[in-house]
Amino acid sequence: MRLDRPAKTLQLQAQRLNDLARRLGLALRHSRDWHAQAPQRLAQRLMRAAAAQLQQQRLALAGAQERLRAHDPHRVLQRGYAWVESADGRPVISALALRPGQAVRAVWADGRARAEVLDVEPLPPTP
Protein backbone atom coordinates (compact mmCIF):
# COMPACT_ATOMS: atom_id res chain seq x y z
CA MET A 1 0.00 0.00 0.00
CA ARG A 2 2.81 2.28 0.72
CA LEU A 3 4.28 1.80 -2.76
CA ASP A 4 0.95 2.44 -4.40
CA ARG A 5 0.71 5.96 -3.07
CA PRO A 6 4.15 7.18 -4.25
CA ALA A 7 3.44 5.69 -7.68
CA LYS A 8 0.11 7.47 -7.81
CA THR A 9 1.78 10.70 -6.72
CA LEU A 10 4.42 10.26 -9.40
CA GLN A 11 1.75 9.53 -11.99
CA LEU A 12 -0.13 12.72 -11.03
CA GLN A 13 3.11 14.70 -11.17
CA ALA A 14 3.95 13.18 -14.57
CA GLN A 15 0.51 14.07 -15.88
CA ARG A 16 0.88 17.60 -14.54
CA LEU A 17 4.29 17.81 -16.17
CA ASN A 18 2.79 16.61 -19.48
CA ASP A 19 0.02 19.20 -19.21
CA LEU A 20 2.59 21.92 -18.53
CA ALA A 21 4.72 20.75 -21.47
CA ARG A 22 1.66 20.83 -23.73
CA ARG A 23 0.75 24.33 -22.52
CA LEU A 24 4.34 25.46 -23.06
CA GLY A 25 4.27 24.07 -26.61
CA LEU A 26 1.02 25.90 -27.33
CA ALA A 27 2.41 29.11 -25.84
CA LEU A 28 5.58 28.80 -27.93
CA ARG A 29 3.57 28.26 -31.12
CA HIS A 30 1.31 31.17 -30.27
CA SER A 31 4.32 33.37 -29.55
CA ARG A 32 6.03 32.30 -32.77
CA ASP A 33 2.85 32.98 -34.79
CA TRP A 34 2.37 36.34 -33.09
CA HIS A 35 5.96 37.36 -33.84
CA ALA A 36 5.69 36.06 -37.40
CA GLN A 37 2.68 38.33 -37.94
CA ALA A 38 4.40 41.34 -36.34
CA PRO A 39 5.63 42.79 -39.67
CA GLN A 40 2.10 42.59 -41.09
CA ARG A 41 0.63 44.27 -38.02
CA LEU A 42 3.29 46.97 -38.10
CA ALA A 43 2.73 47.51 -41.83
CA GLN A 44 -1.01 47.90 -41.23
CA ARG A 45 -0.38 50.38 -38.41
CA LEU A 46 2.02 52.29 -40.64
CA MET A 47 -0.54 52.42 -43.46
CA ARG A 48 -3.25 53.66 -41.09
CA ALA A 49 -0.92 56.29 -39.64
CA ALA A 50 0.19 57.41 -43.11
CA ALA A 51 -3.44 57.64 -44.27
CA ALA A 52 -4.38 59.68 -41.19
CA GLN A 53 -1.43 62.01 -41.68
CA LEU A 54 -2.28 62.40 -45.37
CA GLN A 55 -5.86 63.28 -44.45
CA GLN A 56 -4.63 65.88 -41.95
CA GLN A 57 -2.35 67.38 -44.60
CA ARG A 58 -5.23 67.47 -47.10
CA LEU A 59 -7.37 69.32 -44.57
CA ALA A 60 -4.54 71.76 -43.81
CA LEU A 61 -4.00 72.35 -47.52
CA ALA A 62 -7.72 72.92 -48.09
CA GLY A 63 -7.71 75.46 -45.26
CA ALA A 64 -4.67 77.23 -46.69
CA GLN A 65 -6.29 77.30 -50.14
CA GLU A 66 -9.43 78.83 -48.68
CA ARG A 67 -7.42 81.49 -46.83
CA LEU A 68 -5.54 82.24 -50.05
CA ARG A 69 -8.80 82.55 -51.99
CA ALA A 70 -10.13 84.93 -49.35
CA HIS A 71 -7.24 87.27 -50.16
CA ASP A 72 -7.77 87.06 -53.92
CA PRO A 73 -8.68 90.55 -55.17
CA HIS A 74 -10.86 89.03 -57.91
CA ARG A 75 -13.19 87.63 -55.26
CA VAL A 76 -13.58 91.14 -53.88
CA LEU A 77 -14.60 92.27 -57.36
CA GLN A 78 -17.23 89.51 -57.48
CA ARG A 79 -18.86 91.12 -54.43
CA GLY A 80 -19.48 94.31 -56.42
CA TYR A 81 -16.32 96.32 -55.80
CA ALA A 82 -13.94 97.72 -58.41
CA TRP A 83 -10.31 98.74 -58.39
CA VAL A 84 -8.60 101.53 -60.23
CA GLU A 85 -5.35 101.14 -62.10
CA SER A 86 -3.19 103.57 -64.00
CA ALA A 87 -2.88 103.46 -67.78
CA ASP A 88 0.17 101.18 -67.43
CA GLY A 89 -1.73 98.67 -65.26
CA ARG A 90 -0.38 99.60 -61.83
CA PRO A 91 -2.94 99.76 -59.03
CA VAL A 92 -3.86 103.21 -57.78
CA ILE A 93 -3.83 102.89 -54.00
CA SER A 94 -4.41 106.55 -53.12
CA ALA A 95 -6.56 109.30 -54.56
CA LEU A 96 -3.67 111.66 -53.89
CA ALA A 97 -1.66 109.73 -56.52
CA LEU A 98 -4.07 110.93 -59.20
CA ARG A 99 -4.18 114.25 -61.03
CA PRO A 100 -6.96 115.80 -63.10
CA GLY A 101 -6.84 114.71 -66.71
CA GLN A 102 -5.03 111.46 -65.95
CA ALA A 103 -6.26 108.35 -67.80
CA VAL A 104 -7.17 105.39 -65.56
CA ARG A 105 -8.94 102.06 -65.85
CA ALA A 106 -11.63 100.84 -63.50
CA VAL A 107 -11.73 97.03 -63.20
CA TRP A 108 -14.80 95.03 -62.15
CA ALA A 109 -15.33 91.28 -62.02
CA ASP A 110 -16.90 91.24 -65.47
CA GLY A 111 -14.91 93.89 -67.35
CA ARG A 112 -12.96 97.16 -67.47
CA ALA A 113 -13.65 100.75 -68.35
CA ARG A 114 -11.25 103.51 -69.34
CA ALA A 115 -11.85 106.79 -67.58
CA GLU A 116 -10.32 110.20 -67.09
CA VAL A 117 -9.84 111.81 -63.70
CA LEU A 118 -11.86 115.02 -63.59
CA ASP A 119 -11.06 116.11 -60.08
CA VAL A 120 -9.26 114.83 -56.95
CA GLU A 121 -10.86 115.50 -53.58
CA PRO A 122 -8.77 114.39 -50.56
CA LEU A 123 -10.71 113.30 -47.49
CA PRO A 124 -10.01 114.88 -44.12
CA PRO A 125 -7.80 112.72 -41.88
CA THR A 126 -9.68 110.35 -39.57
CA PRO A 127 -9.18 110.98 -35.86
Quote the pLDDT of residue 49.
Answer: 96
Domain extent, residue 106, equals 73-116
User: Are residue 13 and residue 59 in the same domain, yes or no?
Assistant: yes
Quote the pLDDT of residue 9.
Answer: 80
User: Are residue 42 and residue 86 in the same domain, yes or no?
Assistant: no
User: Are residue 47 and residue 85 in the same domain, yes or no?
Assistant: no
User: Are residue 41 and residue 56 in the same domain, yes or no?
Assistant: yes
DSSP for 31-60 reads: HHHHHHTHHHHHHHHHHHHHHHHHHHHHHH
Query: Is the full-model pTM beyond 0.85?
Result: no
Asked if residue 123 belongs to a domain, the reply is: no
Contact 112, 89 (CB under 8 A): no
Alpha carbons 106 and 84: distance in angstroms, whole number: 5
Q: CB neighbours of 28 closer than 8 A, spacing ≥ 6?
A: none
Quote the pLDDT of residue 2.
Answer: 55
- Provide the 3-class DSSP secondary structure of residue 76: helix
User: Are residue 64 and residue 82 in the same domain, yes or no?
Assistant: no
Quote the pLDDT of residue 3.
Answer: 57
Torsions phi, psi of 111, nearest 5? 165, -175
CA distances to 71, 96, 99, 122 from 125, in Å: 27, 13, 20, 9
| Average pLDDT, consecutive stretches of 10 residues, N- to C-terminus, the chain (127 residues) | 68 91 94 91 94 97 93 86 92 92 94 94 86
| H or E element, residue 66 | helix 38-70
User: Are residue 65 and residue 83 in the same domain, yes or no?
Assistant: no
Q: How many other C-beta atoms lie within 10 A of the C-beta of residue 107?
A: 19
Count of domains observed in the chain: 2
User: Are residue 53 and residue 18 in the same domain, yes or no?
Assistant: yes
